[in-house]
Structure formats: structure tokens, C-alpha cells
Amino acid sequence: MRRRTLAGLAACSLVPAVLAQPRAQRSFQLALLAQADDERYDPQQVLKGFPDAPGGRSAAAAQIALNDSAITLQMAGWTAAPLLVEEAPDAAGLPAAVQGLVRRGVRHIVLELPAAGVAAVAAATRGQDVVLFNTAAPQDALRAAQCAPHLLHTLPSHAMQMDAIAQFLVARKWARPLLLVGPTPGDQLLLAAWNRSAKRFGVRPVAQRGFRLSNDPRERELANVRLLTSEREYDAVVVLDAQGEFARELPYRTLLPRPVVGSNGLTAQAWHPQYERYGAPQLTRRFLRRANRAMGSYDWATWTAARTAAEVVAAYNNAGVAQQLQALRQGAVAIDGYKGQRLTYRAWDGQLRQPLLLAHGDGIADIAPLEGFLHPRSTLDTLGFDEPESGCKAR
């Protein structure tokens, strides 16, 4: 009897020792895929500092997010490996580059790519166990006809940006603006997004005029701001300029003293270095120390994508990629983006719901969605394509 009791005590004494043993840690690997010849990141282009352009490569933002998520991952049994950066030489090399990452076991990939590259990578990995995060392409087509079940978007779309601008104009009672549009394909994408937003919120431009930057003397008038902004009364000037050169020169040069919005003046951004609410300055300072430059919208989008990947892996640490994607699209995993509310992804197009900062060079004028713009589920869904109007069929 005594021997049985001692044996039982010995067995019980092993329980705390077993529980005290550290859990075997698995390595979480996040990758960032870039394209070497992406002209937006050319040093001369970056130096121009246009509001709707990247401020530089954003790998530093992803690494900060991994550092921020280290404890969350550790509690779930993971250790965060250093960010893996893969750079394809050109668009043709992207499919091979992403397949190489998948063969190495990477299941969460941040895409710092132009729109065509994002679409190519999504097509190359369709049906595979991988989550892609678009952090550098705002084109609406990627959320519509070119959408994919495994493709999520953290950068705001053109539609979201234009909805924010239209809300601001309506709220300020500047609903009769003058519209200036450039001739490039990128300008036409912005125009399509603007026309949708203007119709949605009841903004009625008094006129639409085209501008063109050209060395041809016969086209000089198409770049003359005073001529383009004359003859009509208007509340504001909406400029749609994907390249940014014309829009840069527009504020304070219009014939009438009116605000400029759209591609310059007041712009709709995911992030701004002067944003000072909800702990945002701490994130801005961490990025500044690591990257030696100010944090912008593209950097925040990359940070948020990396944070999302870490959060879903920690929350669903024994689940496969399909279950992780389902959880993200159903809103079961929410992200703290330092914007005052938990952010979730839309089920219908994979876009991250988020407030947008209506920013100018030195600060924030307002935050969209603005007060008074309502929605039956979430006011954040007043920005961008709502479920009934979504063109995405791949869910």
C-alpha cells in the first residue's frame, strides 16, 4: 500500500515539470516580393515626393510589424523569422519568384508591386495555400474583375480615396467643383473612380477640363492653370493626375481663390506623418528611426499586412491557410491599425476597411468617413465598393 502511494505521488510530481517545459516553437516566415524595375521606386521619382506615390521601399515597415507582433506570436508557439525579401528583376520574373517562395514553405507574402504584377502573382498562385497582401496597387480592378480568393488589400483603393474626397466636398458644401483631368491611362482610372463617387454622393462638377504637360507650343494652353480655371464659378478644384507633375503646381495658382483636392492640395491617405491620434506618433517614430524617412500610406499598408499575417497565424496557429483566409474575410480577426478602431477585411473583395486621412502637406483636415454618412453595417463601408456593387466574383 505504501509503495503504491509513493508511486502515485511520484507520478503527480511529474505533472508540474511537464507543464513547465517550454512549448516547441515553430518559425513564422513572412516574405515581401518586389519588382526591381518598378519605376515608382526609382530614386529620382521618389525624390519628387508626390502625395499619392511611395516614399521608398517599405521592407522596414514589415520588419517593424514582425517585431511588434513578437510576443503575440511567441504566446501562440511561434518565433518570427527575419523578413525574407525577394526581388524579381522585372514583371516576367514574378511568377517564378513567387513559386520559389512557395516551394520554400512561405505561406504569407506581401506584394510591393504595380497592379499588373499583383494580378500576375495572384494568377500564378491560384489554388495554392498562400495568402497574398497587396500593399502598393490602388487600382479598383484588382478588387473587382481581377480579384482572387487568396488576395487581400491593405492599401486603399482609388474608389475609397475618391469616396473620401466626395464626402469632404459634400460636408463642406463644396459640391459644385471644377474637374481637371490628365490624358494618361492612370488619369482615366482616377476619372472612373471619381465619376462613381460623384454620382454616389451627389457632387455635380460645373465643368470637366483636360490638361496636358507638353513641349509642343500648340498645346501650351492645356497646361495654363489660369486659363483652365477661368470662365466658370466653382466651389473647389478637383485635380486627377496620376503622375503628379501638373497637380503639384495647382494650389494657389487657380484664377479663383478655391481649395484644391484630389491628387494634390487635400488628398485621401491611409497614413500621414502628422497624424497624432490613437498612438500613431509612436509608430511613425519607430519607422523614422529604422528607415530614416517619414512613414507614408504605402509603408502603413505594408506594416498592416505584416501585422495581419502575424495576428492570423497566432490566432489560428493550428489551422491551414484556407481557414486563416476565411477568418480574415469573415472579420474574425481584427487589426489595430492605430486609427481608433479595429480594422477588418471585406468578405466580398478582400479590401481592408479603414478610415482615411484627409491630409494636406502639414496636417490632417478631417478623417473619412465623415459624420452623417451612414451605412447599415459599418460606416467604413461608405468608402469603396460595397457588397451589392462589387464586381468581384472569386470568393
Question: 195 and 111 in one domain?
Answer: no
Helix, strand, coil: what percent of the chain each, to 5?
40, 15, 40
Distance between CA atoms of residues 261 and 259, nearest Å: 7
Distance between CA atoms of residues 383 and 387, nearest Å: 12
Return the residue matching grid coordinates 484630389. Answer: 262
Question: 99 and 46 in one domain?
Answer: yes
SS3 83: coil
C-alpha cell at 59: 521592407
Question: 150 and 238 in one domain?
Answer: no
Instruction: Say if residue 118 is exposed, middle or buried (CB neighbours under 10 Å; 0-12, 13-18, 19+).
Output: buried
Asked if residues 75 and 20 have their Cβ atoms less than 8 Å apart, the reply is no
Per-residue model confidence (pLDDT) at position 20: 43
Which residues lie closer than 8 Å to 360 by C-beta, 6 or more apart? Answer: 265, 266, 267
Give the range of the structural domain holding residue 51, as residue numbers without chain letter.
Answer: 26-156+271-354
383 in a domain, yes or no?
no
Per-residue model confidence (pLDDT) at position 152: 98
C-alpha distance from residue 292 to each of 56, 96, 179, 284, 289 (Å): 11, 32, 37, 11, 6
Per-residue model confidence (pLDDT) at position 299: 98
Question: 323 and 240 in one domain?
Answer: no
319 in a domain, yes or no?
yes
H-helix or E-strand spanning residue 158: helix 158-171
Per-residue model confidence (pLDDT) at position 30: 98
SS3 122: helix
Q: Per DSSP, which regions of the chain are E strands? A: 26-28, 30-35, 78-80, 84-88, 108-112, 131-134, 151-153, 178-181, 207-210, 237-240, 260-262, 267-269, 335-336, 342-343, 356-360, 363-368
Question: 275 and 152 in one domain?
Answer: yes
Characterize 254-279 residue by residue with b for buried, 16 or more Cβ atoms within 10 angstroms of its Cβ, and e for exposed: bbeebbbbbbbbbbbbbbbbebeeee
391 in a domain, yes or no?
no
Distance between CA atoms of residues 133 and 119, nearest Å: 12
- Please, what is the angle between helix 158-171 and helix 185-201, to 10°? 50
Identify the segments of the chain with pLDDT beneath 50.
1-21
Question: 201 and 94 in one domain?
Answer: no
Which residues lie closer than 8 Å to 27 by C-beta, 6 or more apart? Answer: 78, 79, 80, 81
Instruction: Say if residue 144 is exposed, middle or buried (CB neighbours under 10 Å; 0-12, 13-18, 19+).
Output: middle
Question: 178 and 207 in one domain?
Answer: yes
Cβ contacts of 65-74, under 8 Å, gap ≥ 24? 65/302, 65/303, 65/304, 65/305, 65/306, 65/307, 65/310, 66/30, 66/306, 66/310, 68/307, 69/306, 69/307, 69/310, 69/311, 69/314, 72/310, 72/311, 72/314, 73/28, 73/310, 73/313, 73/314, 74/25
H helix and E strand count, the chain: 13, 16
Per-residue model confidence (pLDDT) at position 216: 72
Per-residue model confidence (pLDDT) at position 33: 98
Question: 257 and 327 in one domain?
Answer: no
20 in a domain, yes or no?
no
CATH code: domain of residue 136: 3.40.50.2300
C-alpha distance from residue 223 to each of 54, 85, 219, 235, 236 (Å): 25, 41, 8, 21, 18
DSSP code of 69? T
Q: Please confirm whether the linkage preceding 43 is cis (ω < 30° from 0).
A: no
Asked if residues 80 and 28 have their Cβ atoms less than 8 Å apart, the reply is yes
Question: 39 and 118 in one domain?
Answer: yes
pTM to 2 decimal places: 0.92
19 in a domain, yes or no?
no
Per-residue model confidence (pLDDT) at position 2: 42
**244, 267, 290: which is the final residue of a domain?**
267
17 in a domain, yes or no?
no
Per-residue model confidence (pLDDT) at position 12: 45
Per-residue model confidence (pLDDT) at position 63: 97
Asked if residues 351 and 151 have their Cβ atoms less than 8 Å apart, the reply is no
- Give me the number of domains the chain comprises: 2
